[in-house]
Amino acid sequence: MFLPDLNQRLGYVKAIADADVVLSGEARNIYYYNPSNKLIAQADQYKGVRLVD
């Protein structure tokens, strides 16, 4: 699934990262790619969730 709207995309990425923290018990590095395999967002324990573009 690819969301073209940046606010929706950031909300989606935050929801996935927050759910991962709940399930794993700690923040982990997560990389999000668009359908053409370009990095669009990243989540990690030091910088939090951010869009990469």
Domain boundaries, the chain: 6-51
18-27 pLDDT per residue, tens? 999 999 999 9
The DSSP code for 36 is T
Q: H-type helices in 1-53, by residue range?
A: 6-24
1-40 pLDDT per residue, tens? 678 889 999 999 999 999 999 999 999 999 999 889 999 9
Kind plus residue range of the DSSP H or E element containing 50: strand 48-51
Strand-pair category, 30-33 with 39-44: antiparallel
pTM for this model (two decimals): 0.82
At residue 26, what are phi and psi to the nearest 5 degrees?
A: -160, 160
